[in-house]
Chain A
Amino acid sequence: MNLRMNFPGLRAIYQFEMARTWRTLFQSVVSPVVTTTLYFIVFGAAIGSRITEINGVTFAAFIIPGLIMLSILTESVSNASFGIHLPRFTGTIYELLSAPVSSLEVVLGYVGAAATKSIVLGFIILATARLFVDYDIAHPVAMVCILVVTAITFSLFGFIIGIWADNFEKLQFVPMLVITPLTFLGGSFYSIDMLPPFWRTLTLFNPVVYLISAFRWSFYDTADVPIGISIVMIFLFLTVCIGVVCWIFQTGYRLKN
């Protein structure tokens, strides 16, 4: 139907969203770095000194992939959800809806910008971690791929939340009451093998487990869940998110009256 892309339109949305990041640089980048540092001090240095190695990796090194995932997930969701929610809230969405941009360009712009920000953040945390602990990356290419795909998936998820939420409470609710618990309980700071059997089984229903497991595998070549299963789960979640976004645009859900 409309095969030609509106590249200036896509660029405008992407740059607009990135500009918002620069305007809120402190909130966007500095505060997650500070938080991560605190995690290292508390978990890595204080508690970690009392925990022996997990699967041959020191505790401080073990938590790095989980910490990065924690930030990527929360930041992707909150950035993307806020990015699309704000124009709905202020009413400036009228311009987006009346512009010659397709839903593809809108999603690429908003989700692309949110994912970019998360990816950059992931690398900043990775570099920050270097100040505290030595680590190896066994599969660097896989590591980058998982990072990128996760950032995109959760930015899509955030985009959906931003459209679904009709107020700011709901917008805050999901990152705080869904993403953070799932990440904490998803093996950010422990191996799920350490859990009693019942909890271990229950944990397998937590999609974040697969992300963290796969990501940790890319660092240390050890995983809670077989890497193949993790990858299937990651793409499954990505597919679901893409499907929901397509449905949103087809129906105009919460976008058009």
Chain B
Amino acid sequence: MPPDSDEKPARIANNSPESAISVSKLSKIYAGGHAALTDIDLEIRKGEIFALLGPNGAGKTTLISIICGIVSPTSGRITAGGDDVIRDYRKTRTKIGLVPQELTTDAFETVWNTVSFSRGLFGKKPDPAFIERTLRDLSLWDRKDSKIITLSGGMKRRVLIAKALSHEPEILFLDEPTAGVDVELRRGMWDMVRKLQETGVTIILTTHYIEEAEEMADRIGVINGGRIVLVEDKAALMKKLGKKELRLHLHHPMQTIPADLSGHDLALEGDGNTLVFTFDTQAERTGTTRLLGDLDRLEIRFSDLDTRQRSLEDIFVSVVGESS
């Protein structure tokens, strides 16, 4: 089946910018009674890289599995490009590619065969030239006739990516693509994801590495305990919650912060050797000048100073901490 070229923007609820996936009021209770997802509302925009960030067991895989049709929702509705993923599953699934978290492959198949199989399964006519390009892009061309069982873990992951890309999807899900992958391969993965985005593919990746979300995503959704805790543009998120720290390395360590400085947001670190001042970069007055003036007045000397952006990790810890 050819992909549907007749998009229907009129049916998309969220009018600016165009929505790739829309999840509303989605809940999932597994047979055992475990509520894996509760009342999820989420919009994924066309062409973006969306990172779904959350600790293990947060419900990331469950959410992806429901969107892709592997797990049945308990309640709620999902559309992809305006089409219901259950009622119009042929249309939506043709558009979606999935790279699962686990390295599940047909061990005794060759790389070429398994990727060609995927293309057929998703309703596309054979296109050896396209598959060749995909395998070359993923540095798998040399191994096209190898049985999957003979490949390394990193290669198997790339085979799964090739399978997911074999039918030229518009939306790609990557479930923890870099879990257990070494740094170099991780960089390679990120480059690949960016290249895909340039070709217009919408990418949703899950991760529990904050640096990954920070590095890759246009927008970040934080999920914890089956609930979406927060969805923000990465930049806005960094700004909104991104306080800066001014770290002063003191000449003489302090036991306590002098009472004269109680008007400043200060903390002591490193056995009293470092005085940490937290300030809001967005605020009209950051208070740094006043602090430095006060320090000078009190004759507190420091040998060095630096400033540090609070990382997503800090933000994550505070957000998840608040929600649980």
The range of chain A's interface size is 20 to 34
The number of residue pairs between A and B whose CB atoms lie closer than 8 Å in the complex comes to 89
User: What 5 A-B pairs have minimum CB-CB distances, sorted nearest first?
Assistant: A12-B120, A91-B104, A100-B93, A98-B68, A100-B90
- Nearest B residue (CB) for A87: B106
Task: Tell me whether A252 is interfacial, beta carbon within 8 Å.
Answer: yes
The 20 listed contacts between A and B (C-beta, < 8 Å) are A8-B121, A11-B120, A12-B117, A16-B117, A91-B100, A91-B104, A92-B104, A92-B106, A95-B98, A95-B118, A97-B68, A97-B70, A98-B68, A98-B70, A98-B96, A100-B93, A100-B122, A101-B123, A102-B90, A257-B30
B69 at the interface (CB under 8 A from A): yes
Q: How far is the CA of A13 from the CA of B89 in the complex (A)?
A: 18
Indicate if A50 sits at the interface (CB-CB under 8 A). Answer: no
Q: Known contacts A6-B123, A13-B121: does B71 contact A100 (CB below 8 Å)?
A: no
| Alpha-carbon distance A98/B124, docked complex (angstroms) | 15
Q: Is A19 touching B123 in the complex (CB atoms < 8 A)? A: no
* Contact A98-B98, Cβ < 8 Å, known A13-B121, A92-B104, A256-B71: yes
- A91–B102 CB distance below 8 A: yes
**Smallest CB gap from A101: residue in B:** B121
Q: Which residues of A contact B94 (CB under 8 A)?
A: 100
User: Interface 1/0s, chain A 5-26, versus B by CB < 8 A?
Assistant: 0101101110110010001000
Contact at A95–B121, with CB atoms within 8 Å? Answer: yes
A96 at the interface (CB under 8 A from B): yes
Query: Residues of B with Cβ closer than 8 Å to A?
Result: 1, 30-31, 65, 68-72, 87, 89-94, 96, 98, 100, 102, 104-108, 113, 116-126, 163
CA distance A100 to B4 in the complex (A): 13
Measured CB to CB, the residues of A under 8 A from B are: 1-2, 4, 6, 8-9, 11-13, 15-16, 19, 23, 90-92, 94-102, 252, 256-257
Nearest A residue (CB) for B36: A257
Apart from A4-B90, A95-B98, A99-B123: 20 A-B pairs, beta carbons within 8 A: A1-B87, A4-B1, A8-B119, A8-B120, A8-B121, A9-B120, A13-B121, A16-B117, A23-B108, A91-B100, A91-B102, A91-B104, A92-B106, A95-B163, A98-B70, A98-B98, A101-B123, A102-B90, A256-B70, A257-B30
